[in-house]
Chain A
Amino acid sequence: DIQMTQSPSFVSASVGDRVTITCRASQGISNWLTWYQQKPGKAPKLLISAASNLRSGVPSRFSGSGSGTDFTLTISCLQPEDFATYYCLQANGLPLSFGGGTKVEI
């Protein structure tokens, strides 16, 4: 099974900050990596697919990079609506596996 190690678990940040979240796969997953945002009590929302493709309607302050085992989600200028928990997911191998999540809070 492929393990996804996400760091940090918590980020304390302010509006306007640049935030970087990392996911590391236990083995190479090419670009089979997606990023999700989840707000309390809501279903997750797909932000980025194929490691770096911004989904339609997602603000350009979000970006993703990486390939193989190391991936990054960057929020370039944090907005109030970005305070949420972020998850990565690998789909290169079964079972699909999520990272542990990163809570971005004030």
Chain B
Amino acid sequence: EVQLVESGGGLVKPGGSLRLSCAASGFTFSHAWMSWVRQAPGEGLEWVGRIKSKSSGETKEYSAPVKDRFTISRDDSKNTLYLQMNSLKTEDTAVYYCTWENPRPGEFDYWGQGILVTVSS
């Protein structure tokens, strides 16, 4: 059974940092393209960014609002995806989901339960 479990969310002040983790199981994580998607309270879905598999060059791609502040990484030995968030802004407040793109780009077949990040003073 595929499982994606996010952790590391919480309350942080503007300008602060936070690292989210996503523990994956039930599939070959090292072969997977993984994305982060977020949803601000009462709002729609927003793609945050993606990391490809090592065999695809481990390329990282980001949306404009988070580029240069957020970094996606992965540890294939631990089957874990990360989202390092720096210089956080109030508008980054959202539920963050990790997702597995399978089998084609944009086909988010599996999602974590989501984790809330609140940026507030």
Contact = CB atoms under 8 A, between A and B. Distances in A.
B4 to A, nearest CB: 9
Nearest to B98: A43
Interface string B93-104: 000010000001
A46 B110 CA distance: 8
Nearest to A96: B47
Contacts of B44: 87, 98-101
Contacts of A44: 37, 45, 97, 108, 111
Interface residues on B, range: 20 to 34
B49 to A, nearest CB: 8
A60 B64 CA distance: 37
Contacts of A45: 111
A38 B111 CA distance: 12
Contact of A98 (B46, B111, B113): B46
A95 B106 contact: no
Nearest to A89: B106
Nearest to B108: A46
